[in-house]
Copies of this chain bind each other. A is one copy, B any other.
Amino acid sequence: MTGTPDLRARLRARGLRVTPQRELVLSAVQRLGHASPEAICTEVRRTAAGVNISTIYRTLDLLEELGLVRHAHLGPGAPTYHAADEHAHLHLVCHVCGTVAEAEVALAEQLVGRVLAVHGFEPDVEHMAIAGRCAQCRER
């Protein structure tokens, strides 16, 4: 019920340090919603100038290990990071126009159940991007 999980607590629980960079990266991810490492870096630098891109990458990995952020692959290249406390959602990526829409995970209910039953494989729906053609691009 605490809304945002506590960065400080999780770091201390592991004997890791609370640094301004870590707080800045987490808050940038929360503010941006969905973003690439590059975009997160730009956002962080609006507040603190010198932060290095390699610190962004290391920090995102760490935050993901701590369960505070998650990433999804929406296509080639740029992974997208978002706060872990956001409600889970599917990503619909149009491979014509490139737009990304979100959809309820409930839509994948049967898929998840069947894949688990048939293959013993437990799908991670939050991480899964679905490619296809969006409504607008289908009309043409």
Contact = CB atoms under 8 A, between A and B. Distances in A.
Interface in A97-126: 101, 103, 107-111, 114-115, 118-124
A94 interface: yes
A66 interface: no
A33 interface: no
A124 B55 CA distance: 36
Contacts of A28: none
Contacts of A114: 107
A107 B118 contact: yes
20 contacts: A73-B75, A76-B79, A92-B115, A92-B123, A95-B127, A103-B119, A107-B115, A109-B110, A110-B110, A111-B130, A115-B130, A115-B132, A119-B135, A120-B134, A122-B133, A123-B132, A124-B131, A127-B132, A128-B128, A129-B129
